[in-house]
Amino acid sequence: MYVAVKGGETAILNSYRLLARARRGDAAVPELSLAQIKGQLRHAVDRVMQEGSLFDPELAALALKQAAGDTQEAVFLLRAFRTTLPRFGYSVPLDTAAMRVRRRVSGTFKDVPGGQVLGPTADYTQRLLDFSLAGTGSANLEEPTALAEPLPERLPCVLDVLNREGLIEPETPPPGDPAPTDLTREPLMFPAARATRLQNLARGDEGWLLGLAYSTQRGYAESHPFAGEIRMGEVTVSIAPEELGFAVDIGEITLTECQMINQFAGNGSAPPQFTRGYGLVVGEAERKAMAMALVDRSLRAPELGETAHAPAQQAEFVLCHSDNVEASGFVQHLKLPHYVDFQAELSLLRTLRAGFDAKGDAQ
Amino acid sequence: MKHSTSCKPQTGLHREGGRAATGPYSPYGEEAHSDADKASNWRYNFGYLDENTKRMLRRGLLKAVAIPGYQVPFGSREMPLPYGWGTGGIQLTASLIGRQDVLKVIDQGADDTTNAVNIRRFFGRVCGVDTTEKSADATLIQTRHRIPETPLKAGQIVVFQVPEPEPLRLLEASEVETRKLHAHQEYGLMHVKLYEDIARFGHIATSYDYPVRVNGRYLASPSPIPKFDNPKLHQSPALLLFGAGREKRLYAIPPYTDVDSLAFDDHPFEIQAWDTSCALCGSHDSYLDEIVTDDAGSRMFVCSDTDYCTSRREDAR
């Protein structure tokens, strides 16, 4: 006598217990503290905040700990928590020209006003495993040399130099300067304005953007990019409550900004000039900011009169598949039971197969 | 949507400073709560979503009821269950559920499949409402892939979890294009697809998520229910709501609405039939799951609707 399998609830509760033990690992090894994760795994924390769309290093560290280092799972945890947070208002636009720059480089000019500042980059390290880090004894950290002269308070954007010559398209708000869509409150609709697209890319999966950006360099969209400027540092966040009538600083966040310069042959109404691609990401995230800038530019193909034949130029394709919380959930939902549909397909296939075999027999 | 009226906004959200780093909530913690008072001790609002989000959802639902079968875009939120696992249905249920509601959750027709258990546990934790496995006792039924065999009643609400709300998506990938096709009532693509099935196989080769025309206007996906369940959509006394969280669309079939499964005059719509009956309850007219019982390929057929099957066996005793 067949007895239908029961006990889903018990199994689920047991999976929690197993998961908790697996997460903790060897109990003889000290437990990770959030301060350790925040302080020593800053890139992981930043990525969880970017794709989780919530700036809170403490919660991002908690999510990473709970997810046992699975970045996308941590992003998901943060997003689900974010849903429950009330929205008090919107900040005034961030002024990245007033960024307290820790890193600023340009690939287009040897020297730029304010100079090139490498900052805390791994770019010119030789990727040799540093065995001195294998132990837990803290390494002897050397003091970096101070800058010859401190950076000015406002570091003008490198692209402004080209702007003065009219060789690069001006960055102007869209006609009427409409309030941007808030993608965390409204669904993504098409055609999507550039502000909406940038919002989507900013919280999009880094791997997705990196692959798409790479494709534009390899011939799937002729982008011919130059890294006009990349800067990273702290930017003040201000809000202007209506009843107050002026802006109040509420804190600062770390941002990475990338201004990409791309060739443009011009068209009937626009002269030949450089065009822009823009990337802005929370935290230290140069790879993502650069990828975002390349994809932003490729998505501008229709407005610049370019044929949109490559995947990275097709907004619906790029934007509908960028969110790793959506992608991860839907790909993995295949492990849920599909008995009913599978049964329907099975009986359909048996019918089709019977028809095919009967035809074969007749021949 | 009478249920929503019993759902009073909770003040204070029971959390300090919007932080979860400390406090009583534990993601893997305690057992499901059985009463509403316990639920109010959680840091989350009743039904998890805040009242403004619920209102946004209910407004969307009102529009959906007013335009049967039309896909209403809505500001879908990230839920604590993954996209593709019923987040659309969960959001609709969360926006509708009140303290007096009795909730039933099924997946594949069964109350005890893991995802159904998990969703029921979720609402147990964030609402503390009564749950049931009896279709007849439920005021609100959230389902994935089935409609209960027990006929639905007036006053009941069924919430369907929908992975792909756009019935034309596999024929036309672009959302811009499919919205135009709906606006123009241009459903030739789907008719051609069904015709091609007949030309190739002699019959329509769609066995689940079989497209329907709602109220003679919008082409809609019934969600991936087997076509066996399609006739239950037509003139249903219950309110049928469809939520697609990842795709950010919701739609509705109001009570007593005409729902036609697409077909041709010379190829009428047909549902699945078995030449066997349920091995447990003997039902001849329910949807059957095939169970493989040993390595030698022996198999048996049993009702996919566990409540229906159990009730029949209890009644037979």
**What residue segments make up the domains of chain B, in order of their start?**
2-261, 273-317
Residue B83 sits at the chain A interface (C-beta within 8 Å): yes
Pairwise CA distance, residues A306 & A312, whole Å: 13
DSSP-derived secondary structure for B145-201: S---SSPP-TT-EEEEE-S---TTTTT---HHHHHHHHHTT--HHHHHHHHHHHHHH
User: CA B197, B200, B201 angle in degrees (round to 5)?
Assistant: 75
N-term to C-term CA, chain B: 38
- Give residue for tokens 């036609």: B260
Q: Kindly state whether residues A42 and A105 are assigned to the same domain.
A: no
Nearest CB among A62, A85, A330 relative to B84 is that of: A330
Q: In this structure, are A163 and A302 located in the same domain?
A: yes
Rounded CA separation B284/B270 (Å): 16
pLDDT of B8 reads 36
Among B141, B138, B191, B135, CA closest to B168 = B191
Residues A112 and A236 in one domain: yes
Contacts of B39 (CB under 8 A, 6+ apart): B33, B46, B125, B126, B127, B128
Residues A251 and A187 in one domain: yes
Q: Is residue A144 part of a domain?
A: no
Contacts of A351 in chain B (CB under 8 A): 203
CA atoms within 13 A on the CB side of B34: 1
Instruction: Based on the fold, state whether residues A154 and A223 are members of the same structural domain.
Output: yes
Shortest CB distance from B113 goes to which of A186, A333, A337? A337
The pLDDT, as a whole number, for residue B20 is: 33
Report d(CA A302, CA A10) in Å as an integer: 55
- pLDDT computed for residue B11 by the predictor: 34
Q: How far is A300 from chain B (nearest CA, A)?
A: 17
Interface-testing mutation among B83, B123, B160, B286, with chain A (most A C-beta atoms within 10 A): B83
Residues of B labelled catalytic: 69, 278, 281, 303, 309
Nearest to B54 by CA among B22, B105, B10, B85: B10
d(CA B174, CA B187): 15
Q: Do A73 and A67 contact (CB within 8 A), yes or no?
A: yes
Q: Which tokens go with A240?
A: 């202007």
Specify whether A222 is located in the same domain as A305: yes
Question: Please, are residues B233 and B222 in contact by the beta-carbon 8 Å criterion?
Answer: yes
Residuewise pLDDT in 10s, chain B (317 residues):
444 333 333 333 333 333 333 333 333 334 434 444 444 444 678 999 999 999 999 999 999 999 999 999 999 999 999 999 999 999 999 999 999 999 999 999 999 888 999 999 999 989 989 999 999 999 999 999 999 999 999 999 999 999 999 999 999 999 999 999 999 999 999 999 999 999 998 889 999 999 999 999 999 999 999 999 999 999 999 999 999 999 999 999 999 999 999 999 999 999 999 999 999 999 999 999 998 888 888 889 999 999 999 999 999 98
B184 touches chain A (CB under 8 A): no
Residue type, B243: G
pTM of the entire predicted model: 0.88
Do A106 and A49 share a structural domain? no
The half-sphere exposure of A338 on its side-chain side, counting CA atoms within 13 A, is 17
A190 touches B: beta carbon within 8 Å: yes
Alpha-carbon distance B159 to B50, whole Å? 20
* Per-residue buried b or exposed e for B222-231, using 16+ beta carbons within 10 Å of the residue's own CB: bbbbbbbbbe
Question: Is A230 inside any structural domain?
Answer: yes
Asked whether residue A88 is assigned to any structural domain, the reply reads no
CB burial readout A156-171, b (16+ within 10 A) else e: ebbbebbbeeeebbee
DSSP type of residue B79: -
* The A225-239 sheet, strands edge to edge: A100-105, A225-239, A248-262, A275-282
Neighbours of A183 (CB within 10 A): 20
Q: How many C-beta atoms surround the C-beta of residue A302 within 10 A?
A: 13
pLDDT of residue A123: 93
Residues A226, A313, single domain; the answer is yes
Residue at token pair 């991860």? A328
3-state secondary structure labels for all residues of chain A = CCCCCCCHHHHHHHHHHHHHHHHHCCCCCCCCCHHHHHHHCHHHHHHHHHHHCCCCHHHHHHHHHHCCCCHHHHHHHHHHHHCCCCCCCCECCCCHHHCEEEEEECCCCCCCCCCCECCCCCCCCCCCCCHHHCCCCCCCCCCCCCCCCCCCCCCCCCHHHHHHHCCECCCCCCCCCCCCCCCCCCCCCCCCCHHHHHHHHHCCCHHHHHHHHHHHHCCCCCCCEEEEEEEEEEEEEEECCCCCCCCEEEEEEEEEEEEEEECCCCCCCCCCCEEEEEEEEECCCHHHHHHHHHHHHHHCCHHHCCCCCCHHHCHHHHHHCCCHHHHHHHHHHHHCCCHHHHHHHHHHHHHHHHHHHHHHHHC
Under 8 Å between Cβ of A16 and B28:
yes
Return residues 250-309 of B near A (CB < 8 Å): 272, 279-280, 287-291, 293, 300, 302, 304, 306
Residue B242's closest CA among B264, B220, B226?
B220
Residues A62 and A108 in one domain: no
Where does chain B have alpha helices with state H?
36-39, 51-66, 87-96, 114-126, 175-183, 188-201, 306-316
Per CATH, the number for B2-261 is: 3.40.50.11310
Return the SS3 of B36: helix
Angle between helices A71-82 and A42-52 (to 10 degrees): 50
Separation of alpha carbons A269 and A41, rounded Å: 49
Domain assignment present for residue A13? The answer is: yes
Q: What angle do CA B25, B26, B30 make, to 5 degrees?
A: 100
Q: What is the pLDDT along chain A (363 residues), one digit of tens a residue?
A: 455 555 678 889 999 999 999 999 999 999 999 999 999 999 999 999 999 999 999 999 999 999 999 999 999 999 999 998 888 889 999 999 999 999 999 998 888 888 889 999 999 999 999 888 887 766 678 888 887 777 888 888 888 878 888 889 888 888 899 989 999 999 999 999 999 999 999 999 999 999 999 999 999 987 789 999 999 999 999 999 989 989 999 999 999 999 999 988 777 777 888 999 999 999 999 999 999 999 999 999 998 888 889 999 999 999 999 999 999 999 999 998 888 888 888 888 988 888 888 888 776
How many CB atoms sit inside 10 A of residue A32's CB? 17
Alpha-carbon distance of A130 to A127, in angstroms, equals 9
- Are A100 and A69 members of one domain? no
User: B207 — contact with chain A (CB < 8 Å)?
Assistant: yes
What residue numbers bound the domain in which A77 lies? 8-83
Residues 6+ apart with CB under 8 A from B129: B36, B97, B98, B99, B100, B101, B102, B103, B123
CA distance A189 to A183: 10
Based on the domain organization, do A102 and A77 belong to the same domain? no
- Contact with chain A for residue B74, Cβ under 8 A: yes
Statement to judge: residues A100 and A31 lie in one domain: no
CB contact under 8 A, B201 and A355: yes
Confirm whether A207 is domain-assigned: yes
- Domains in chain A: how many in total? 2
Q: For chain A, say whether B25 makes contact (Cβ under 8 Å).
A: no
Are the C-beta atoms of A63 and A74 separated by less than 8 Å? yes
Residue B42, Cα to own-chain centre: how many angstroms? 27
Distance (Å, whole) CA A24 – CA A8: 25
